[in-house]
Amino acid sequence: MKPTQPCADSLQQARLARYSPGSTKASARYLWPLAALMLLLAVNLLLDAGFFQLSFQDGRLYGSLIDILNRSAPVALLAIGMSLVIATGGIDLSVGAVMAIAGSICANLLLQADLPLPLVIAAGLATGIAAGLINGTLVSYLKIQPIVATLLLMVAGRGVAQLINQGQIVTFLRPDFAWLGSGSWLGLPVPVWLVIVMFGLSQLLLRRTALGLFIEAVGCNATASRYLGINDKAIKLFVYAFAGFCAALAGMISAADIQGSDANNAGLWLELDAILAVVIGGAALSGGRFSLLLSVIGVLIIQSLSTTIIVSGLPAKFNLLIKAVVVLLVLLLQSDKFRRQLSSWWPKLRKWRKGGQP
């Protein structure tokens, strides 16, 4: 019995070293993005005293905080998919266009009389998976660089959506489908529930099986992981298909939200917001470690910032500048090097002030 004990110990240690949510390093990873989010919410409270007010109205919670969660939903879904793609060292620029395609497919199917809702949703999701499989095949089997492979669909995809919609904004009157975007359940908007469910399922799939580890391994070193027996091509194909699925869901939410499919504007530039959120969440674009929770926090930061800008009453021309400055600050706060630099300046600054005051 005795000789096995050290072995079990080291196994336990290895496990802890791999995933130890309680270790100091992990908590530092969560600290700065969370601090940034809290700070933004505090600024909102200063601008608008009723910011944290929640009321119950027509069977749903109503307030600015709920709005932020609700408006975050499409980008949060994109970011969940994007986290995995980025973890393999790839990038998916096409998710915004895939949103537009899925939205246009659903909108046009809804115009056909009496198609059952599940069929419409399945068609939308299948579109997303198909688009993801195209991306994944180009990247993993044809060895095209991810940024180029997905750029194709980013540019062409919007054109496909415009073709499907024949250049018009296709509107539909289907309360059952609109429920996906503007309905509510147990007080919370449906898009928020969809994000929660998607987040929970992905987390289970990635962390309760070896899949998450495989994805990180492929991102760290695809060749080494292949020698370890991981099918790196299949993993890459999977993450792009997964990102496509998430994008389709996001596209259906935004189409359902305005009860129409606007091929020109649905999901426009949202791929960049999703990438930004993943980066704010601390993931490296070179691949490897990822955290879905941090990516979602990144999304919440971006959305709170948009709300802050709207509530602030500043002229619209400052929007993008403010966004850029705040994102830069958040990223700087997360940089160890910058924080060390800052803390090394601090004593000097105090000394200088003391010296300056006789």
Chain contacts with another protein (rule: CB under 8 A): 48, 50-51, 57-58, 62-64, 67, 71, 167-169, 171, 182, 254, 257-260, 262, 264-266, 306-307, 309-311, 313, 315-317, 319
Tell the smallest beta-carbon distance from residue 156 to another protein (Å): 14
Cβ-Cβ contacts under 8 Å for 259 (sequence gap 6 or more): 171, 172, 173, 174, 178, 181
Q: Are strands 188-189 and 184-185 parallel, antiparallel or unpaired?
A: antiparallel
Tell the smallest beta-carbon distance from residue 168 to another protein (Å): 5
CB 240 within 8 A of CB 85: yes
Structure token pair of residue 113: 């009389």
Measured from the CB atom, the residue of 57 and 343 that comes closer to another protein is: 57
Measured from the CB atom, the residue of 13 and 166 that comes closer to another protein is: 166
The per-residue DSSP string of 125-164 comes to: HHHHHHHHHHHHIIIIIS---HHHHHHHHHHHHHHHHHHH
Alpha carbons 4 and 281: distance in angstroms, whole number: 40
Q: Calculate the CA 180 to chain-centre distance.
A: 19
Measured from the CB atom, the residue of 1 and 49 that comes closer to another protein is: 49
Alpha carbons 177 and 102: distance in angstroms, whole number: 13
Structure token pair of residue 141: 């089997």
Compute the CA torsion angle 257, 259, 261, 264 (nearest 10 deg).
-60
Tell the smallest beta-carbon distance from residue 8 to another protein (Å): 54
Alpha carbons 100 and 253: distance in angstroms, whole number: 11
Measured from the CB atom, the residue of 227 and 269 that comes closer to another protein is: 269
Measured from the CB atom, the residue of 139 and 247 that comes closer to another protein is: 247
Tell the smallest beta-carbon distance from residue 79 to another protein (Å): 18
Measured from the CB atom, the residue of 159 and 200 that comes closer to another protein is: 159
Please give the helix or strand (H or E) that residue 61 lies within, else none.
strand 60-62
Amino acid residing at 175: P
Tell the smallest beta-carbon distance from residue 250 to another protein (Å): 12
CB 88 within 8 A of CB 240: no
Amino acid residing at 201: L
Measured from the CB atom, the residue of 231 and 319 that comes closer to another protein is: 319
Measured from the CB atom, the residue of 137 and 265 that comes closer to another protein is: 265
Q: At what angle do helices 270-280 and 292-312 cross, to 10 degrees?
A: 120
Measured from the CB atom, the residue of 234 and 321 that comes closer to another protein is: 321
Tell the smallest beta-carbon distance from residue 210 to another protein (Å): 39
Tell the smallest beta-carbon distance from residue 258 to another protein (Å): 5
Tell the smallest beta-carbon distance from residue 260 to another protein (Å): 7
Alpha carbons 162 and 319: distance in angstroms, whole number: 28
On the 0-12 / 13-18 / 19+ scale of CB atoms within 10 A, 276 is buried
Tell the smallest beta-carbon distance from residue 61 to another protein (Å): 12
